[in-house]
Amino acid sequence: MSSSSPCTINTKLQSSSCGNPGVPPKGVLNGTRFNVGDRIRYHCVTGYILDGHSQLTCITNTAAMAVWDFPVPICRAEDTCGGTLRGSSGVISSPDFQGEYKNSGECTWTILADSGDTISLVFTEFQLENKLEYLEVEGSEPPTIWLSGMNIPVPIVSNKNWLRLHFVTDTNHRHKGFTAQYQVKRSGDFKSRGVKLLPGRDNTSKFSIMNEGGVKQVSNYCPDPGEPENGKRVGSDFSIGASVHFTCDGDHVLQGSKAITCQRVAEVFAAWSDHRPVCKGESLL
């Protein structure tokens, strides 16, 4: 009986402790207690800026587990891009978006919301050199998502009250970069229906979820899906409910959906039901 008692005690102690969350490079941790209710603070050494929440609290989540309420912040050099975003909505863009960014480097953005909230991230533009430039997104499921290439990614919904974006670019490859709209939301809002989604624009060509008064602006048009290389698109109506069809040249085979439909998603988004297909030469199949 006595041999089982320590196991029971250790289990209780472990369930009430968040554990040491660690220290980011160029960061300093103040605090040595990591149990439920304890608070710790971070700051950065001279020449670096703290991105994220400077204070973390050990709390109990809905599964009765001890967890930190925010991720460990990072320390970013003062001359690098990025930042911490706490607003209910906003826009994140890569450096010199709409111009060809010329400098190699890294950017990190951290989006923070209140406990229990989640965050939607919808891309409106995306052009990165495959494998040599990428955007890493943390805080969703799967825990880390790597994005690259020329296709607009599907919307991302966090499973926590934060998202972190880490962008890496290369001097030898120049593309337009990316821009994305984020929206902090309550549980149950803006959930996708298991389809591959592309964000839409309204008829003023300005992507917007909220107007200045905080009222939702509904987007009734999907973006122009374009035409596949070595193929054609049939249809020019991009409104909700409309469909467009794709065909390939005679010596190419279509891979993907032959038709996609503009759909209403989560009350305010307009999105295509799938990505634009590609046309591949028969010799490459």
Q: Please give the CATH topology (third level) of the domain spanning 1-77.
A: Complement Module; domain 1 (2.10.70)
pLDDT of 265: 62
Q: Where are the domains of the chain?
A: 1-77, 80-191, 193-285
Computed from CA positions of residues 7, 13, 19, 20, in that sequence, does the dihedral angle turn out positive or negative? negative
- Rounded Cα distance between 21 and 59, Å, is 13
- Asked, colleague to colleague, whether 1-77 and 193-285 share their fold, the answer is yes
Query: Class for domain 193-285, per CATH?
Result: mainly beta
Q: What is the pTM of this model?
A: 0.61
Q: What is the mean pLDDT of each run of 10 residues along the chain (285 residues)?
A: 39 70 95 96 95 93 88 89 88 72 73 89 85 88 87 86 90 74 68 38 34 46 83 91 91 87 69 80 68
The domain defined by 80-191 carries CATH number 2.60.120.290 = yes
In order of 24, 31, 35, 160, the CA distances from 57 in angstroms are 17, 11, 9, 15
